[in-house]
Chain A
């Protein structure tokens, strides 16, 4: 990966959420970082390389923020497992515990737990400037003496202290910390017993092993431990921290009076959402067009410069088309995640969770579900991963289950095509664009059905544990550009890799299904037209189009389409739409490309011509236009509800570690889609 040998130092960065941990990680590694599967698990952890004095290198991993060594959420589990699992290959040599100096007491609780693991630790203090504004005077020498370790204050914004931190890392290879409490005395018998099994463990490691395997035995000892730790920390802080001036009312509190105001709070939130969606659609239009054009240029270039044949066809219509289907959504996804990253980094998102929790709770979710749901408008894959910080299992599962109902960006091209077929590009009362209104309606349908589905699931899914919403409201901070850029790189990479590999794979399979047919049916078509070609006055282009569409009919995909036709006929769909529905399993927007292929148009990127061709389509029996209002709406609603996305299914499997939820999700969304489309078509036909 990073060409590191086993001898090189392994460093783990850990700390409470909102302590500036990731900024420290970014300052140490710069762009030299990547997200990778962590030690054989499916969980992804950020890692990077730290170079010291141009020759020494170390591998750093950035663990998700954690409040305690006893994990409560999926995120925390990942972090703690990396730290305490002794068999882990990534088991760190040095642990950097990052603590927010303006919120030292609670941050030190976690520090003292990590320190008791017995590994070399360094305390990294961030937000010294904020602590100073709060009137806190921290005596670093006394703090360091009391804890028995090196304390390094840093400011990732201007890089102050980072060099000192690097020096400290490479010179701290011995554990020197003091133990703040006497763990052995909390449970002498249990620890003695555990030590027989693990003679190499220290007292706290034994305690953690008991926690892991026989939690019920510890019972009240855990809160007793916490009380003792806080009391020890209190004594240290009494010694090393003085409050100089009385606190003034903080800026954050004043800002909260407006941002969480009972009326203005919601008005501001809705306004921010409006700005986000407005800019996603207006700004990302342009880069999306460039991407589309460059891919079709590249495809044309490939077609014309390399020998014709199945391989050429596979690369152009399978791989390049698949890749283009992934990359084209990057602008929208990057923009949406940029907004979310800014709002999250500033501390505003915690307030949104605070304001929305009561509403979300009524439908079985949590205030923390709001961010994943909003992100669902871009792409379900990273949104499902973003539910990891929801502690309660039931609330997290419900959130994961309803995210795909939010209209993701892949549905947009489908909606756009179908809407343009049924309504003219006109203005209503001179202000509202009719097409825009219908599009907005589709997004609202997605949102409200997600809420309704969550409400139903609240009664169907049994809770495993007591749910709660205990969330820190961090002080407001100016977002850091570097963090945001790195977050965007990470999210885009997740999208391109996680969604991308599935989309490309399915595109290739679809290409094969559409390019080959049973028996020698394809050869017969070729033969038929080879004869005609000699005498017929049809031009070459028309003939090639006819061949294409007849081959599609005869292909495996065509057979499949006709096989499922009886099932989708009640929804108003024919076998051609059947193929498109099936191919949408790669990614929904593939619908547009498939329609282009089916209606034998050479140029796939021109959606206007697809629209015109589809509007000309007549029903073979009644000879009326095929795409009536009823068919178009039925199809749009089918796309709004159905989970036609292999990447999402794969992600749900990975996050829940069982096929149960992935398959239930697929079944309920498909059932819902079928039902709604059936009703719409039968009522309005």
Chain B
């Protein structure tokens, strides 16, 4: 099973589930809902945290949190260009 940690900068993916029960509510409230498309937009200079685009805004989170976000359907940045639901 792939998680957000496996995503490379600029790539898109779809969230399938959130595995960490303690973080689940916070992440979902911030817009990380299963079925939602996200893009890895930034990686902090020291490699951690990272920032994703979700629900039309930018959210940063640590790799340890990203590991609890399960994803599939990774699309490299070259194929899919820009089409986001607002």
The bracket for how many chain B residues form the interface is: 35 or more
Q: Quick check: is A498 within 8 A (CB to CB) of the other chain?
A: no
Determine if A72 and B26 form an interchain contact, defined as CB atoms under 8 angstroms apart.
Answer: yes
Q: Cβ of A136: which chain B residues have Cβ within 8 Å of it?
A: 86
Q: Quick check: is B75 within 8 A (CB to CB) of the other chain?
A: no
The residue from A134, A263, A357 contacting B86, defined by CB atoms under 8 A apart: A134
Assuming A237-B86, A243-B86, A470-B65, is B28 touching A227 (CB within 8 A)? yes
CB distance from A361 to the nearest CB of B (A): 8
Q: Quick check: is A223 within 8 A (CB to CB) of the other chain?
A: yes
Query: In the complex, what residue of chain B is closest to A465 when comparing beta carbons?
Result: B22
The residue from A105, A265, A359, A474 contacting B55, defined by CB atoms under 8 A apart: A105
Determine if A68 and B82 form an interchain contact, defined as CB atoms under 8 angstroms apart.
Answer: no
The residue from A234, A241, A367 contacting B49, defined by CB atoms under 8 A apart: A367
Assuming A106-B55, A468-B65, A472-B57, is B24 touching A223 (CB within 8 A)? yes
Determine if A357 and B48 form an interchain contact, defined as CB atoms under 8 angstroms apart.
Answer: yes
Q: How far is the CA of A169 from the CA of B59 in the complex (A)?
A: 33
Q: How far is the CA of A227 from the CA of B28 in the complex (A)?
A: 7
Determine if B86 and A471 form an interchain contact, defined as CB atoms under 8 angstroms apart.
Answer: no
Query: In the complex, what residue of chain A is closest to B56 when comparing beta carbons?
Result: A103
Q: How far is the CA of A241 from the CA of B34 in the complex (A)?
A: 22
Q: How far is the CA of A505 from the CA of B28 in the complex (A)?
A: 49
Q: Cβ of A246: which chain B residues have Cβ within 8 Å of it?
A: 82-83
Q: How far is the CA of A266 from the CA of B20 in the complex (A)?
A: 32
Determine if A253 and B41 form an interchain contact, defined as CB atoms under 8 angstroms apart.
Answer: yes
Determine if B60 and A354 form an interchain contact, defined as CB atoms under 8 angstroms apart.
Answer: yes
The residue from B18, B45, B86 contacting A261, defined by CB atoms under 8 A apart: B45
The residue from A226, A357, A474 contacting B28, defined by CB atoms under 8 A apart: A226
Q: How far is the CA of A67 from the CA of B30 in the complex (A)?
A: 7
Q: Cβ of A241: which chain B residues have Cβ within 8 Å of it?
A: 86
Q: How far is the CA of A105 from the CA of B85 in the complex (A)?
A: 10
Q: Cβ of A473: which chain B residues have Cβ within 8 Å of it?
A: 42, 51, 57-60
Query: In the complex, what residue of chain B is closest to A100 when comparing beta carbons?
Result: B57
Q: How far is the CA of A263 from the CA of B45 in the complex (A)?
A: 8
Determine if A469 and B29 form an interchain contact, defined as CB atoms under 8 angstroms apart.
Answer: no
Complex interface residues of chain A between 221 and 253 (CB less than 8 A to chain B): 222-223, 226-227, 230, 234, 237, 241, 243, 246-247, 252-253
Q: Quick check: is A560 within 8 A (CB to CB) of the other chain?
A: no
CB distance from A93 to the nearest CB of B (A): 27
The residue from A72, A230, A470 contacting B61, defined by CB atoms under 8 A apart: A470
Q: Which residues of B contact A (CB under 8 A)?
A: 18, 20, 22-31, 33-34, 41-42, 44-49, 51, 55-62, 64-65, 82-86
Instruction: Please name 4 further chain A to chain B contacts, defined as beta carbons within 8 Å, in addition to the given A260-B42, A358-B47, A468-B23, sorted by A numbering.
Output: A468-B26, A469-B65, A472-B57, A473-B51
